[in-house]
Structure 1
């Protein structure tokens, strides 16, 4: 399979983000609660959980619900800050212990893996029979205005374009991905979230501080014109003088057999 993402770059981005992630805690916690609310829809009691890439927003909430939690991340620094027992993921082969957990929560962390179906299969294998996967990831439409603005500004300034925002899956494909990975009762729905920024550059800073900067293998690795990002951000939609960044967060649930 052709590698879309630079795994080492994703790790470096998350390492650099780890010391700065605390200032994003209110946003990350709000997004996490939107996902964890799905736990209230089941009467199943969970005791052993895996927080996969939760950046400090998942493990504490699961521990408050009485669970023992391991926190896995491809960044050792991020895993150490996540709130559970740290577990380092060193490659796209996760090497998770089979049938260890009755709950796996992968919150906004799977979209940097080239083999998304393979990642879901590995998480299913880490679940005990009748265990639950609860996952979230950006769906198509996320940061679409930023993607378009960057492409148009770069073409205008340089005469060419390079990818700067990751590809995201269609919401309609997400339940199918769970089914392909062997989950039963797969469900995918979406949370539509708007974030408003009075300072347009703060959007880029938040993406950096969340470890979400460009890690596409096809990205341009040379310096870009200084005018690129101001020009692109100036084209973003606004409301009451603030730019709008849209997140379409797909929330996936599936049960291990």
Structure 2
């Protein structure tokens, strides 16, 4: 069952996310992470030998399928993730669901994954990439230290990100078979923390937490944050590091043709016997 959107915790202001993404598009988006994900997604799909007919792109901030691989598909539908997080997808209407750099800002991720699972035909595939893990850990630590020092307290600034184990469990909870997750860690170097924050604005990735501070940060706090960042996370040449963890997730709608785990007690030989036969 999908989570109840009325009871799922609401961490993100999705109306503000839409406004921030619109602002980023007007300013000229910074798309190096999305470009990397699109290229990697194409490579991963090339390795899948089965065909796909009906495909949906779910919530992605840009076009995922401008490359020749799209010729494999009969139809491609872009599906927006609006504030309701209700996907306009009919049951068993898709062979493939794709999503890039969108699911990290979903309030009810279990519910959205369950909706995708219902929309997949038997043996249909979900392939998605989302920001997670230790993304922006340097910025998070620098802001926390600066606020504690300058203002006597810490406010939420960087979204809490899911880790690999969380995502694997959510795929299983949604009813997807053969779940697989992995992480692509990208470390980007900047001249300063302010250059990093300018890129985040042009990604539409600034603070959209509902519990965010609603007043401007003091200039002294911002300057101290940048100083701490440079002290703790700079390379010998003075440039700072920023970590982005891209979590990849995939799972299949169950089908009789898929491999299944053995039933408990159905093994032909025991672990003890296998150990005894192992070479010394």
Match of 1:83 in 2: none
- Using the size of structure 1 for normalisation, the TM-score is 0.87
In the alignment, structure 1 segments of 5+ residues that lack a partner are: 75-88
Alignment of 1:95-114 (within 5 A): 95-114=88-107
Match of 2:168 in 1: 175
Structure 2 CA distance, aligned partners of 1:104 and 1:62? Answer: 18
Relative to structure 2, which stretch is displaced further, 121-130 or 59-68? 59-68
Structure 1 CA distance, aligned partners of 2:101 and 2:91? Answer: 23
Asked if 1:4 corresponds to 2:11, the answer is yes
Structure 1 CA distance, aligned partners of 2:160 and 2:134? Answer: 10
Q: 1:230 to 1:17 in 2, by over 3 A?
A: same
Structure 1 CA distance, aligned partners of 2:206 and 2:91? Answer: 32
Q: 1:62 to 1:21 in 2, by over 3 A?
A: farther
Match of 2:66 in 1: 60
- Count of aligned residue pairs for this structure pair: 242
Q: When you count strand as a share of all residues, which structure comes out higher?
A: 1
Structure 2 CA distance, aligned partners of 1:25 and 1:140? Answer: 20
Asked if 1:48 corresponds to 2:63, the answer is no
| Root mean square deviation of aligned Cα | 1.9
Match of 2:238 in 1: 241
- Cα distance, 1:65 vs structure 2: 4.1
In the alignment, structure 2 segments of 5+ residues that lack a partner are: 1-6, 255-280
Instruction: Check conservation: 1:117, 1:180, Cα contact below 8 A.
Output: yes
- Cα distance, 1:163 vs structure 2: 0.5
Structure 2 CA distance, aligned partners of 1:26 and 1:6? Answer: 24
SS at match of 2:153: coil
Q: 1:19 to 1:101 in 2, by over 3 A?
A: farther
